[in-house]
Structure 1
Amino acid sequence: MSTVILVRHGRSTANADGVLAGRTPGIELDETGREQAERTGRRLGAVPLVGVVSSPLERCRQTANAILAHQTGSPTAPTETALTECDYGDWQGRKIADLAKEDLWTVVQRHPAAAVFPGGESLAAMQARAVAAVRRHHAAFQATHGSAAVWAVVSHGDLIKSILADALGLHLDLFQRIHVHPASVSIVRYTTTSPEVLAMNTDAGDLSWLREQASEARVGGGAGPGHAHASGDS
C-alpha cells in the first residue's frame, strides 16, 4: 500500500473573481493563494515525499513547487494530464453567478453523475480518468519505494472530490457533499483490500504521523498514530 496526499491548488485569480477557469491558460495563484501554498508546503515538510504529481495547469504547478521547496529529499514533480481540470467546455471562463442560473447547474449539484458540460466532458469521465491516474501512480510509487511510500497529488477541487468519493465508496451523485478548499490536504491510503480515507479538507495540523504506516485497517478502530501495532478496543 502507499499513501497519497491530495492537495488542491491555492486560491487563483479566477477563484477570487468568481470565474470558472477550467483549463484556461495563464491562471495563476493570487497573493492569498501563494500564501496558502507556502503554508501547505511548510506543513508537508514534516513528511518525506517520494514524489509530487501535478496537474499541468499553472496554479497547480505553482502549488507543487511550494511543496517541493520544503522537501529535504529530491522528489520530482512530473505533470499528469489525466489529473488536469475538468473540461467544462462552453462553461469555461464564465462567471459562477451566471452559471448558477443555467438548467444544467441543478444537475451538476443534485445529479452530477448525469452532468455533461456542453462542448466538454462529463463529471463521470473526469472521475474515471482521475481515479485511474491515482491508482496507476500508486502502483508505480509502491513498486519503486515500497509500501511505506507517501506521495502527493496537486490538482483541482472537483477532481479531488471525485477521488475522495471513490475512496469512500460513494456514488458520484453524492460527491458534492464533500468540500475541498484551496490548498487543503486530504489523505488516502491504498491498501491491498480497499482505500482508507485518513483525512479530508484539512488546512492545519501536524502531519509527521504519516511517517508511520500500519499494514491494514485496525480491528476495532485501532489506537491511532503512534500505536501502529495496536488493535481492538479492549
Structure 2
Amino acid sequence: MQLTSLPTRVIFVRHGRSTYNEQGRYQGSSDQAVLTANGHRTAQLVGQALQSEKIHAIYSSPLKRVQQTVDAICDQLPSKAIPMDVRDDLREIDLPAWEGLPYKTVRTHQVDTYRCWIERPHEFQMARCPHSSFDAERAAPESFYPVRDLYGRAQRFWHTVLPQHAGQTLLVVSHGGTIHALISTALGLTPEQHHCLQQSNCGVSVLEFPPAANFAQLCQLNDTGAIGELLPKLKAGRQGLRLLLLPVEPEMPLNGVPDFLEEIHLDFSLQTHGLISDFQTAQLLSNHPETVQLQVQREDFIQAWQQTLNLRGQQSSETLLTGLVIASPDKIQALLMQIIGIAPHEDDLLSLNPGRMSVVHFANSQSRPILQGLNIYTNCVKRHNSVSPHNLLVAV
C-alpha cells in the first residue's frame, strides 16, 4: 500500500428519486425502477456541488437507477476521465419477497415480519427466490438474513477497495440501505443498529479513513442542501419529535444560521445557560417569536434532554414537534454517539463541526431514533428554491 499522510475520503451519494420511490414500493435489488425527471434533475445538482472536488475514482451499483444518477452527476463534473468501477457488492439490499410491493401492503399484511425488519433487523429473515424450476419444486425454499448479508457485502467492498486508494477521494453512488451498511461497517456498527442512519435521495455523506488508523470518521451525513432541501425529508413521516442539534462555542459567530432557520417551524428551543448571549439567542430566533425558550445549567443538560424526549408521550401520534437544541460540541457529540450506538471512548468516530446542524428524528412509529443528518451546512444562499452548490461538503 502506498504510504501517505492524507486520509482516504469517501463521498457517498444515494441515487435520485426513482419511479418506485414515487409509487411507495420496495425496490431492493430489483432493477425495474428508473429515475424520475426530478431524480435526474437533483442528480445534476449534486454533480454541480461536486465540481470543486478532486475525485480519483467512482464506484457504483449496477442497477439502472444508480447508473442514471452516475451519468447525470458526471455530466456536471469538469473531468471526463475519472476511472469508474461498477460493483455488484454495491447493489441494494436483497428483499426478494417484498420487491415491487407497496410499503403499506407489507406493513398491513406482514405485521410481525415488518416489525422484525424495523426493530430487530439482525434477526430479519426472508426466503430466497428460486433460480430455476427445479428450485421452485423444492419443499422448503432457502432462507437468509438480508441485513447480515448486506453488511457482509459492505465489509467485502471496504477490504477490496480501500487498499487501492490510500490518500485519495472516492465517489460511491449507491442505495440508501447499502450506504447505511457501508457507513455502519466503517464505524464498527452492527446489523442490529441498522435503520439508525438516514440516507435520502441524492443525500451526500462523507467518511474519512485516517492513514494507518483502524477506524473511519463520519464527517457528514445526508446533506440535501445541494438539491434545495434545507433538512432531510422525514422518512418515518411527519410525526414524533425532531431535534435540530446546533453545536456552538462561546462568542462564536452564527453567520447564516438565522436565515437557515427562517423557513423551519420551531416549537421550542433548549440551550445551556450562558453558552451564547441573549442577543445571539434573539438573533437565532428572530423569525420564531412563538417559540418556547428553555435554558438549563451545563451539568443538567443530559437530564433536560431526557425530559425533552418525554414530550413524545404528550403529543398526538399524528403531529410533529420540532425543537432547536443549542449546546457545546462535546454535549452534542455525546448525545449523537448515544443515539447511533457508538461507545463513549470512541469519540474519534464522529467529527462534529461547530455551527453546522445535525438532525435527529424520534418517530412515534419506531422504538429507536434516526440520525437524519450530521454537519448540515447552514450558511447556504437560497435562490429560486435552490441553493448555491459551493462549499456544501465538509472541508478536509
The structure with the greater share of residues assigned to helix is: 1
Residues 1:104 and 2:128 aligned together = no
Give 3-state SS (helix, strand or coil) of 2:179's partner: helix
Flag the 1:221–1:11 CA change in 2: closer, same or farther, 3 A: closer
- 121-130 or 79-88, which deviates more: 121-130
Whether the 8 Å contact between 1:19 and 1:95 is mirrored in structure 2 is: yes
Residues 1:132 and 2:156 aligned together = yes
Whether the 8 Å contact between 1:43 and 1:204 is mirrored in structure 2 is: no
Residues 1:155 and 2:174 aligned together = yes
Q: Distance in 2 between matches of 1:222 and 1:41?
A: 24
Residues 1:188 and 2:207 aligned together = yes
Output the amino acid matched with 1:158.
Answer: G
Q: Distance in 2 between matches of 1:190 and 1:105?
A: 35
Output the amino acid matched with 1:62.
Answer: Q
Q: Distance in 2 between matches of 1:113 and 1:195?
A: 22
Whether the 8 Å contact between 1:11 and 1:30 is mirrored in structure 2 is: yes
Give 3-state SS (helix, strand or coil) of 1:90's partner: coil
Q: Distance in 2 between matches of 1:222 and 1:183?
A: 22
Output the amino acid matched with 2:11.
Answer: I
TM-score (norm 2): 0.50
Q: Distance in 1 between matches of 2:58 and 2:207?
A: 15
Structure 2, gaps ≥5 residues long: 1-6, 130-143, 227-347, 356-393
Output the amino acid matched with 1:70.
Answer: Q
| Residue deviations 1:179-224 (CA, integer Å, cap 9, x gap) | 100011111111222101110011226xxxxxxxxxxx6xx98999
TM-score (norm 1): 0.82
Whether the 8 Å contact between 1:48 and 1:72 is mirrored in structure 2 is: no
Give 3-state SS (helix, strand or coil) of 1:70's partner: coil
Residues 1:170 and 2:189 aligned together = yes
Q: C-alpha root-mean-square deviation of aligned residues, in Å?
A: 2.4
Flag the 1:221–1:202 CA change in 2: closer, same or farther, 3 A: closer
Give 3-state SS (helix, strand or coil) of 1:188's partner: strand
Structure 1, gaps ≥5 residues long: 206-216, 229-234
| Residue deviations 1:116-146 (CA, integer Å, cap 9, x gap) | 222265211111112321342222122xxxx
Output the amino acid matched with 1:123.
Answer: V
Of 75, 80, 83, which residue of structure 1 is paired with 2:87? 80
Flag the 1:134–1:62 CA change in 2: closer, same or farther, 3 A: farther
Question: In the alignment, which residue of structure 2 is the partner of 1:212?
Answer: none
Q: Distance in 1 between matches of 2:153 and 2:352?
A: 32
Output the amino acid matched with 1:68.
Answer: C
Whether the 8 Å contact between 2:96 and 2:127 is mirrored in structure 1 is: yes
The structure with the greater share of residues assigned to strand is: 2
- Residue correspondences, number: 210
Q: Distance in 1 between matches of 2:67 and 2:207?
A: 21
Question: In the alignment, which residue of structure 1 is the partner of 2:24?
Answer: 18
Q: Distance in 1 between matches of 2:46 and 2:34?
A: 17
Q: Distance in 2 between matches of 1:77 and 1:26?
A: 23
Task: Please identify runs of 4+ aligned residues in structure 1 that moved more than 6 A.
Answer: 220-226
Give 3-state SS (helix, strand or coil) of 2:218's partner: strand
Higher RCO (CA < 8 A, seq sep 6+): 1
Whether the 8 Å contact between 1:49 and 1:71 is mirrored in structure 2 is: no
Residues 1:58 and 2:68 aligned together = no
> How far apart are residue 23 of structure 1 and its match?
2.6
Q: Distance in 1 between matches of 2:176 and 2:353?
A: 31
Q: Distance in 1 between matches of 2:74 and 2:206?
A: 18
Residues 1:119 and 2:128 aligned together = yes
- 26-35 or 181-190, which deviates more: 26-35
